[in-house]
Structure 1
């Protein structure tokens, strides 16, 4: 008979957000683990037509996945996470993230805010589905159909802990077949993970560190220890697919979550959001994803510069690294100053140059945009 580790937990110790702020806690609130554990040197694999596996850098997996992970926001300011799992625009998240709500706001990685409708939520399993029409026909994250994770498998946890959108942390599967009870939900045969997760991670995907496939839904955490729990995605696929095919006509209520004391949201400041946007812009450039980079520019900048002109400006650029970012909030938004090192080709040779570029970042039609840019090449330390 298989041994089971059962943890019985009280709702009074646990629920941080009936509306959806956070990862569930088993003990007290955690204010650490804000920074992503940036992973650049692992070697996830992809399959070529000949069936052989070829190395793929983890940073590429992270970049591709981040575009399909969203931040879920509620009217009370509560925050959670979710990820696109099909081409209908359906987002998987935790039930406790959207409990007692029919409509939510969804923020994409490129700072576009869209409306989402809750089309399915379980009273027993901590899983829900939100339909976002603005994401329809978008290629979803790859999902592992079978539960095949093993102890010490490398994993990546994506989400918006404490409102810091698209944070990535790395860890391992540290336990299998864990069972815990968190009123009103039952967690059966869940993964125990060492990847640090914090409030706001709830509903975010757990990725296989070598394939980039979604293997779980990050849902709970024990106190100040780096012990989290993730629901195996394979266990809930039949249920979420049923909701996608036939949305629920009426959603269950969670009265036991309504009176819980909510933690105050700690969403990213204007400076943090603007810094993230500019960093994401250069991540897109380095990945050769000029369509995404161009979409982050304001409509006025796009009217002055066509996509072809924008892309041609990087024809001779091999790579760009961000050395430093300084964000200064002002009345209109945030002025972001970036110090860059660029590898460029000139007359067939590779040259390294340094630049200082200033970007005003403001909201345009509810989306954060880079309004314009002014830059100069740095020729000496005096220029900096």
Structure 2
């Protein structure tokens, strides 16, 4: 039987795609001086402890998908995500991302800005369609139209959390048929996922890691919990395809939106700092050193070239994060990470534990890991 969640959890559920203006909460940073650290300061990990590194097949799916996932920005600066779902240049997204606006700005994976128009939106199901004429006749993402996902299916969540475009997180389907209400929207039959999502992810695709097909729309998360929710694609395709065939002449006003333009939910600086460190770890575990390097501040980069940064992982086989402890520190946030590292030392595999301290703050309006230092600790 379908499990129905009680309305009492609603207060702990936040819309994942709410505007990312909260990224700018940390302002006027005090200059942070990088402290010398061992190569382990750079060693990172996916926050899914048992997750395997991304396979070649998954890498190919990610590469093929990213150009068809876009950042959507409302006139007031609120941001979310959307993905190309047909050859008419139509993007599928969440209603709360584009609520109460007709014109939006679409940013491509190579940072080009395009004009988009909301042509359909629901007042009770959190979905909407944005038409982008410049994307007409472009190949869309492949869609799963009929089959529902099953427990423990591997998934990829794509989008622009906290304004970090082309972000990919990995996880599994950890629950089925979840239900709750966040006025004015009703969420029914949701997938529960372990792939980390954050503000800006809303409207982005949930992709089957084996087939490469879109199976859902990332829409919400439990506050301070590593649990996200996606709307199954087969449940809403008929609705959105009607809008693509016959666009709405006038759009309904959506009342009491949580996360819509003008009423965006903003995560705290502590939440943002924790997420950026998690994303750093995940990028390293995926072998995406370019992204990981881009997440560190200019002072750190100035003292550590990309070549040296990457070389710091030459002996690292795997990393498991045991705990992340964030703490507000003036205008910055200190994130203490406890990790277990599997290393190749002179041909022998050794297991070591480390404590690392990162300082996270805003640099040029972007969240960065400004500095870090680490030390080995006893088992």
TM-score higher than 0.5: yes
Specify the alignment match of 1:95 in structure 2: 95
Decide whether the 8 Å contact of 2:158 with 2:167 is kept in 1.
yes
- Alpha-carbon shift at residue 63 of structure 1 (Å): 1.1
SS of alignment partner, residue 256 of structure 2: helix
Distance 1:264 1:101, change over 3 A: farther
Specify the alignment match of 1:167 in structure 2: 167
Residue ranges of structure 2 left out of the alignment (5+ in a row): 26-43, 277-282, 300-304, 310-379
Partners of 1:163 and 1:111 in 2: CA distance: 12
Residue ranges of structure 1 left out of the alignment (5+ in a row): 23-28, 30-34, 44-55, 273-278, 287-319, 330-336, 342-384
| TM-superposition CA deviations, 1:108-156 (whole Å, max 9, x none) | 1011100100000001100000000111111110000113311000001
- Alpha-carbon shift at residue 260 of structure 1 (Å): 3.7
Partners of 2:45 and 2:63 in 1: CA distance: 13
- Alpha-carbon shift at residue 180 of structure 1 (Å): 1.0
Specify the alignment match of 1:358 in structure 2: none
- Alpha-carbon shift at residue 10 of structure 1 (Å): 8.2
Distance 1:213 1:263, change over 3 A: same
Partners of 1:205 and 1:91 in 2: CA distance: 11
Distance 1:21 1:41, change over 3 A: same
- Alpha-carbon shift at residue 14 of structure 1 (Å): 5.6
Partners of 1:5 and 1:83 in 2: CA distance: 29
Partners of 1:118 and 1:204 in 2: CA distance: 16
Decide whether the 8 Å contact of 2:76 with 2:262 is kept in 1.
no
Specify the alignment match of 1:21 in structure 2: 19
| TM-superposition CA deviations, 1:25-70 (whole Å, max 9, x none) | xxxx9xxxxx995999545xxxxxxxxxxxx521111111111000
SS of alignment partner, residue 162 of structure 1: helix
1:263 matched to 2:262: no
Decide whether the 8 Å contact of 1:77 with 1:265 is kept in 2.
no
SS of alignment partner, residue 256 of structure 1: coil
How many residue pairs end up in the alignment? 264
* Greater gyration radius: 1
1:229 matched to 2:232: no
Decide whether the 8 Å contact of 2:184 with 2:255 is kept in 1.
no
| TM-superposition CA deviations, 1:147-199 (whole Å, max 9, x none) | 33110000010011111111111110001111111111111111011111011
Specify the alignment match of 1:372 in structure 2: none
Specify the alignment match of 1:116 in structure 2: 116
SS of alignment partner, residue 239 of structure 1: helix
Distance 1:229 1:179, change over 3 A: same
Partners of 1:214 and 1:263 in 2: CA distance: 27
* Higher RCO (CA < 8 A, seq sep 6+): 2
- Stretch of structure 1 that moved more, 249-258 or 201-210: 249-258
- 1:111-260 paired onto structure 2 within 5 Å: 111-257=111-257, 260=263
Distance 1:261 1:229, change over 3 A: closer
Decide whether the 8 Å contact of 2:68 with 2:83 is kept in 1.
yes
Q: What TM-score comes out, normalization by structure 2 length? A: 0.61
Q: What TM-score comes out, normalization by structure 1 length? A: 0.60
RMSD between aligned alpha carbons?
A: 3.7
Partners of 2:159 and 2:251 in 1: CA distance: 25
Distance 1:262 1:220, change over 3 A: closer
